[in-house]
Chains A and B, each alone.
Chain A
Amino acid sequence: MDTLDITALPPAALNRKKKISIWKKSPSLNAGVVMVGLVLIFAGLPGLIAAFSPTSQDADHILEAPSLAHPFGTDNFGRDVFARVVHGTRIDLTIGLLATLVPFITGSLIGLIAGYYGKWVDSVLMRILDIFMAFPFIVLVIAIVAILGPGLNNLYIAIWLVGWKDYARLVRSEVMVAKNAEYVQAAKILGFGDLRILLRHILPNVLSVSIVFAAADVVMCMLSGASLSFLGLGVQPPTPEWGAIISEGRAYLSQAWWICAFPGLALVFAGTGFSLLGDGLSDLLRTKGR
């Protein structure tokens, strides 16, 4: 592997040509944009789409199966599940994006630095990461709820505190490979500075793994509302949020499958949209990076 392959440095013209073809050739990116766009419309104008209020109860119409009046049925308080799912969009979108974005940025940066500089920088950063990894999330969550109080904002803090470690380790492992790759070695020989090499040559190549993970992470963060609600973190009832609706509906799985199924479908839809978008973006980045 001592031979340097100078052709690994991409000519600019080729770069541009590839970029255009990606837009044309990437059905995933296009589909992703359309799906996320739809989610954004639901999030922006829930009142126009849903006829009922997401919180008003009706003791005479509980656990009703999907019908024309209630396309997604009603829940155990007689609330319209369709209205709850539609109104939940904005909250879930915010949770998914906010909870993912911060760890994505901080984690990727830490991984980049640790992987590239290696030696003691890597050791120190990775041992700090070890502490965060070795400390059970649940204990941290309970401590945060106890000290800062319950609610959605503190859910973000909990996820931000621990979410970065996945990105950091993923990016670091990629950087450790990439920094020994031919094109980086060549750039070093050509005398480029660390910053330029990191940002122009390594980052675009290693970031794709981070983006692909982040796209899936959006879904997992939306679900965390459901899995952490038993600790008091996440939205407080009766706020409609997909994870919380699923979590509340599980008691009625045998009687009213629709309470869980429709917010679940909404999650799948939004998740697919973000993942396609993520895949498309990472394709784009990879072509740009070389």
Chain B
Amino acid sequence: MEQLNYILKRTLQIIPVLFFVTILIFVMMRLIPGDPASVMLGDKATPELLKQVQARMGLDKPYLVQYLIFLRNLLSFDFGNSLLYVVPVSQLLAKRIVVTLTLTIMAAIFVIVISFPLGYLAGRKKDRLPDQIIRTSALVALSMPQFWLGILCLLLFGLKLRWFPVGGWGSDWGEHLRSLVLPAFTEALATSALMIRNLRNNVVDVARSDYVDFARSKGLKESVVRSRHIVRNALISTVTLLALRIGGMLGGAVIIETVFALPGVGSLMVQSVFSRDYSVVQAVVFMFASLVLVVNLITDVSYSFLDPRVKLE
């Protein structure tokens, strides 16, 4: 009951945060110099032409009216038309969200598969050879720029070995999944390195903490001590870290998408900011914000499952 209450309360709190985000993004986009009409026209923008195009885009209306139109559209689950592409934003977004979500899920699986066993192993074997090897490799992985790693992956597994396509998204789900392996791996590597380091230190930390000693002294079986105490406690900040990273990935991995030629949300957002396509930017930011808020909520709730001592308040 307590948990249900908490979840309900937190869900309701999402609304004012989202509202604030809509104001922030609206104001910020209009504060940035350059408007969609002048970007579209570039050098050829004479003042008269600019006015005509602005009117066509609905930018001649007062800011408040533009904002209210944006809000009204949101409430009716319609994001309006892209100013640049002149098609409904939802049409542009629908497929890209699939790409980004699939990429994020696959990357998250990679992160878990890579980092949980390695991090745990390093923590248990603290300062011994496995620990040293794992930690050093994690550092090397962390220091590799994504675009660099991505190109190397494409070169080796795409061009030379031909295991995976050289970028692109393909046309059916088999191809989609296949073309996501390299980008998901590239995306996962740095995060895995972070998680390994975090998990290792938590395991070391918890393993020698007093309550584990206490649990042992109570005569609990070693396996119970490990599963109930060490792993669970070690996971709390690790789950936080994973959630933070997943939150970031959901916003689209611009560099990964560019290197692997994937039509994801990130590149659409950057392009739209560059072209000042207000309606697309606003929609993407709103979607992204909603997703991140839900991930945060899930993370907070999961704390109490991982460690019953954490009270939800």
Chains A and B touch (C-beta atoms under 8 A apart): yes
B87 within 8 Å of A by Cβ?
Answer: no
B310 touches A271 (CB 8 A): no
Bound together, the chains give a CA A289 to CA B134 distance in angstroms of: 27
The proximity string for A residues 265-282 relative to B, scoring 1 for CB distances below 8 Å and 0 otherwise, is: 001100110010001001
B269 touches A216 (CB 8 A): no
The proximity string for B residues 179-194 relative to A, scoring 1 for CB distances below 8 Å and 0 otherwise, is: 0000000000010011
The proximity string for A residues 128-168 relative to B, scoring 1 for CB distances below 8 Å and 0 otherwise, is: 00110111111110110011000000000000000001100
A134 touches B288 (CB 8 A): yes
A71 within 8 Å of B by Cβ?
Answer: no
Bound together, the chains give a CA A264 to CA B293 distance in angstroms of: 35
Bound together, the chains give a CA A282 to CA B284 distance in angstroms of: 39
Bound together, the chains give a CA A81 to CA B43 distance in angstroms of: 38
Our pick among B16, B146, B214, B310 for the contact of A5 (Cβ within 8 Å) is B214
| Residues in A119-133 with C-beta less than 8 Å from chain B | 119, 122-123, 126-127, 130-131, 133
In this complex, what residue of A is CB-closest to B127? A27
B163 within 8 Å of A by Cβ?
Answer: no
B201 touches A209 (CB 8 A): yes
Question: Using a Cβ–Cβ cut-off of 8 Å, how many residues does chain B contribute to the interface with A?
Answer: 73
**Shortest Cβ distance from B54 into chain A, in angstroms?**
19
Our pick among B28, B139, B210 for the contact of A8 (Cβ within 8 Å) is B210
In the complex, which residues of chain B have a beta carbon less than 8 angstroms from the beta carbon of A220?
142, 190
Given contacts A177-B233, A250-B151, contact A286 B205 (CB under 8 A): yes
In this complex, what residue of A is CB-closest to B274? A142
Bound together, the chains give a CA A279 to CA B139 distance in angstroms of: 12
| Residues in B255-313 with C-beta less than 8 Å from chain A | 255, 266, 269-270, 273-274, 281, 284-285, 288-290, 292-293, 296, 303, 307-311, 313
Bound together, the chains give a CA A209 to CA B238 distance in angstroms of: 10
Could you tell me the dominant secondary structure of chain B's interface residues? helix
Tell which of B233, B290, B310 has the most Cβ of chain A within 10 Å: B310
Bound together, the chains give a CA A55 to CA B148 distance in angstroms of: 24
**Shortest Cβ distance from A143 into chain B, in angstroms?**
5
A63 within 8 Å of B by Cβ?
Answer: no
Given contacts A170-B240, A173-B303, contact A208 B145 (CB under 8 A): no
**Shortest Cβ distance from A258 into chain B, in angstroms?**
13
B136 touches A272 (CB 8 A): yes
B147 within 8 Å of A by Cβ?
Answer: yes
Could you tell me the dominant secondary structure of chain A's interface residues? helix
B313 touches A119 (CB 8 A): yes
The proximity string for B residues 131-159 relative to A, scoring 1 for CB distances below 8 Å and 0 otherwise, is: 00001100110111111100100000000
**Shortest Cβ distance from A90 into chain B, in angstroms?**
18
Bound together, the chains give a CA A279 to CA B29 distance in angstroms of: 42
New contact pairs (10) apart from A5-B214, A139-B273, A272-B143, CB-CB < 8 Å? A1-B308, A118-B311, A136-B251, A139-B285, A174-B237, A177-B233, A177-B310, A253-B151, A264-B148, A275-B135
